[in-house]
Structure 1
Amino acid sequence: MATAQDEVVGLASELIRFDTAVTDDPRDGNGERAAAEFVAERLAEAGYRPEYVESGPRRGNVVVRLPGADPGRGALLVHGHLDVVPADPAEWSVHPFSGEVRDGYVWGRGAIDMKHMVAMSLALARQYRRENLVPPRDIVFAFLADEEAGGFQGARWLVEHRPELFDGVTEAISEVGGFSLTVRDGVRAYLVQTAEKGAVWLRLKVRGTAGHGSLVHTDNAVAKLAAAVTRLDGHRFPLVLTGPMREFLHGVAELTGVPFDEDDPEAAVARFGNAARLIGAALRDTANVTMFDAGVKANVVPSVASATVDGRVLPGREAEFQRTVAELLGPDVEQDWASLPPVATTFDGRLVDAMTAALVAEDPGAHVLPYLLPGGTDAKAFQALGIRGFGFAPLRLPPELDFTSLFHGVDERVPVDGLLFGTRVLDRLLRSC
């Protein structure tokens, strides 16, 4: 009988071959339906009766429940998203939707974000059904659409329209946690995400006076908007040391023997090498201009210019963030705000103990620490149901791998050894928690 270890690399490669890239257009499902149908078929093969739900044309979601020994205990949700961000094949060493296995890695868009976790979850769900395993409590496996565009056609839609699929769920695990960070030779910290920033998307618009490009203009919409977003881009929001990051940085200080000065957290962050961008972004709010649109012809000054800003806000900072951004942009800029809330929980309890035990069993030198994710996940949607969310998609990573650059980056890939390691860790967790 095939085990999860036997299947996980092949499943990851197959999943990557589905081009599930989505944009902010809710009609853009692309390969999500095909990928969701593939997952449903693999689950049905193993004996499940998967619930396949389309939130819209081609926006496929799949949910199954594995009954546990104690129906009185809260169920555990294991969720992962099938969609990915777009990728340009011309920029890659391999085709981004090839799923090629080469040089000890599985390559392709979604390898890290987050088809590796989908493959691990799918492989283990199949193994458990074939074994007739009864875990300690119910496990709900959910394979979701649209996370990269906010989850409005995935997790958020299911929470609003099909909440019964998650009846009894009290805790959840998903992406961007459980991965290793080598803090000194042979010493690895494994980061468990216990909090994440809120997401704020601003659509900006400035109006001016249209006219011929050869004339003198004092009311140029493009120039006014460019000046406003330049002010925003030049601003640095204040450093804020949240609970998870304080615990993380003090924990690393103990492991390295290098003292951590709470008055100068950036000095500690600078020592993390390639991971410094991820860790540093968890210490302050950010606002980055991601799109700019104006004009139709080279010799026409347009009457309207627009831009989009991606803002990420620490828990408790929402009101101050909005006030600061509005002040920086100025009164001439029309602002349309859309937001998703931050997420936060504590680093304690039976599930955290089980995560730690599973990691230590596979890596006896493992040190497990909480952290705050500067990005966002579908945990934002599930917290509306009172579900306590953690980032735990375990991977043991080579110290030389620039892991954080792979998220939405070129040549995204996951180490085969890390994928096998993560499957063993996740297996231990789900059998014990």
Structure 2
Amino acid sequence: MKTKLFAGLAAAALLASTFCATGALAEPPKVDPALHDQALELLKKGISFRTVIPGDQVPVYAAYLKSALVKAGFKPDEVAIEPVAGSAVLIARYAGTNPSLKPILVIDHMDVVEAKPADWTRDPFTPVVENGYVFGRGAIDDKFDVSMIVTVLSKLKREGWKPQRGVILALSGDEETQMQTARHLAGELKGVEMVLNGDAGGGEVSEDGKPVIYTLQAAEKTYADFEITVTDPGGHSSRPGKTNAIYRLGADLARLSAYQFPAMESEITMASFKAAAPSEPGPVGDALRRYVANPKDAEALATLSADRDMVGQLRTTCVATMIQGGHATNALPQRATASVNCRIFPGTPSEEVRKTLVKVIADPGATVKRENDGSIDAPASPLRPDVLAAVTKAVHARYPGLPVVPGMSAGATDSMFFRAQGVPAYGVGGAFMKSSDDFAHGLNERVPVDTIDGALFQWESVLKDLTK
């Protein structure tokens, strides 16, 4: 689930202030054209596998990736494919020279969200390279970074690279649905130093093609679905009484709509705000600067909370997304149900959120229960200096002086299962792209071809620095 972290807050003014001080932009690092072609071919071929869950193409895609790794020199028994929860996982091991050091775990996912060909301009599972983009479902979410990682590990294996710390590649197979494969991987691969996730983090490019900021994902809001249910004896619609399940549910949701969870902060969100505050324009910028100076500034919080790009960074949010009610047009409803989706600030237990919902709706006749959403409570990761240094070094080799800022994803990724076990995880995706090009989960998904070389360089640089 490729997610924007802090889009829109580091605007062109930040770009100007940064690059006026550092000089002209450097060209992104050059890579061997053959390596570029290999990565592009892996991406194109990957898109052609319809890895939608439910479905049977994830194991087939995993077998294709395994063949690429084995061709590069991995032994067949170093790359395992395991069936899990109606899908599959791939685990490839690159041994280190010092077995006393815990390995680095690189994760990503092979599955994609559904795409209906009738709705697309091009067939979503037929890769097309056109006008400088690769089009197709999964082009950016996330067969892009899967392809970059496999290409880089293949290159390193061919070259005989010998890291001190080993590397494990673990690809899940149902990240876009129930996330049971990631839960399985987290249980199987506990003894690792850290996690690097290609499915989060990344660079933003302005509409005129200049890089703006790179966000290193160090936290993510966890995901929880709750079901609010109201029941009533019902009866004939010609004999309405004082109670009505649909009306009661509507009143409950109205109270929920009026409620705002308390504002929260972390070192990660404050680092993001501080990076954006000096140059963010308009009322939001004024409020952001006041908030950074005083996080208790109620007026600043109100302004920021009214901004859709900001509210998710400030607090837990819960919103009704689906309703069901009644059983016949001529009968009083016996049951009315609403699904409420919550994005929970890291460190907040989901059960605490459920109890808050109970208090907010203040309806003793309603039940509030957690649905089987596959998510898990997880804290933020600490801002490790070695990770920040390695990522900054790689990004600055692509774009000298570009701000590298820790961020919190408003959406969830597989990283949460490792964070929940105390393993720090960081989103370090290699793509740089415009906000207007981001069609992840949407129609005509695409990724710029010209971001491939920089992503390959970045993954190799980060892996080499963190495995010394």
Change (3 A) 1:2 1:418: closer
Partner of 1:129: 157
Change (3 A) 1:43 1:300: farther
Mapping for residues 76-95 of structure 1, pairs under 5 Å: 76-95=104-123
Task: State the Cα distance separating 1:428 from its structure 2 match.
Answer: 1.5
Partner of 1:72: 100
Task: State the Cα distance separating 1:2 from its structure 2 match.
Answer: 8.0
Partner of 1:327: 359
**Counterpart-to-counterpart distance in 2, 1:151 and 1:126:** 27
Mapping for residues 86-165 of structure 1, pairs under 5 Å: 86-152=114-180, 154-160=181-187, 163=188
2:461 matched to 1:428? yes
Change (3 A) 1:415 1:301: farther
2:419 matched to 1:349? no
**Counterpart-to-counterpart distance in 1, 2:446 and 2:118:** 17
Change (3 A) 1:267 1:208: closer
Unmatched tracts of structure 1, length 5 or more: 23-27, 271-275
**Counterpart-to-counterpart distance in 1, 2:96 and 2:309:** 37
**Counterpart-to-counterpart distance in 2, 1:377 and 1:299:** 45
SS of equivalent to 2:246: helix
Task: State the Cα distance separating 1:150 from its structure 2 match.
Answer: 4.0
Q: TM-score, normalised by structure 2?
A: 0.79
Quick one: which of 28, 36, 40 aligns to 1:5?
A: 36
SS of equivalent to 1:227: helix
Change (3 A) 1:92 1:229: farther
Quick one: which of 354, 369, 380 aligns to 1:336?
A: 369
Quick one: which of 177, 195, 203 aligns to 1:172?
A: 195
Identity of aligned residues (%): 29
SS of equivalent to 2:154: helix
Which protein, 1 or 2, shows the higher relative CO under an 8 Å CA cutoff with sep ≥ 6? 2
Quick one: which of 210, 229, 240 aligns to 1:205?
A: 229
Partner of 1:416: 449
Partner of 2:334: 303
* 8 Å CA contact 2:105, 2:169 repeated in 1: yes
* 8 Å CA contact 2:117, 2:123 repeated in 1: yes
Change (3 A) 1:352 1:290: same
Task: State the Cα distance separating 1:240 from its structure 2 match.
Answer: 2.4
Unmatched tracts of structure 2, length 5 or more: 1-31, 292-296
Task: State the Cα distance separating 1:302 from its structure 2 match.
Answer: 4.1
**Counterpart-to-counterpart distance in 2, 1:183 and 1:107:** 19
Partner of 1:401: 436
Task: Please list the CA deviations of residues 37-72 of structure 1 after superposition, one character each: whole Å capped at 9, or x if unmatched.
Answer: 222232233232211111134x11000111123333
Q: Quote the RMSD (CA, aligned, Å).
A: 2.9
Change (3 A) 1:294 1:133: same
Quick one: which of 22, 34, 42 aligns to 2:60?
A: 34
* 8 Å CA contact 1:3, 1:123 repeated in 2: no
- Bigger drift between 217-226 and 6-15 goes to 217-226
2:242 matched to 1:189? no
Task: Please list the CA deviations of residues 59-92 of structure 1 after superposition, one character each: whole Å capped at 9, or x if unmatched.
Answer: 1100011112333332111110112222333433
Q: TM-score, normalised by structure 1?
A: 0.85
**Counterpart-to-counterpart distance in 1, 2:225 and 2:154:** 38
SS of equivalent to 2:412: coil
SS of equivalent to 1:401: helix
Task: Please list the CA deviations of residues 83-102 of structure 1 after superposition, one character each: whole Å capped at 9, or x if unmatched.
Answer: 22223334333333233222
**Counterpart-to-counterpart distance in 2, 1:140 and 1:224:** 52
Task: State the Cα distance separating 1:388 from its structure 2 match.
Answer: 0.9
Mapping for residues 279-298 of structure 1, pairs under 5 Å: 279-298=310-329
Change (3 A) 1:384 1:253: closer
- For residue 371 of structure 1, what is the amino acid of its counterpart? G
Change (3 A) 1:16 1:234: farther
* 8 Å CA contact 1:184, 1:256 repeated in 2: no
SS of equivalent to 2:89: strand
- Number of aligned positions between the proteins: 414
SS of equivalent to 1:169: coil
Partner of 1:273: none
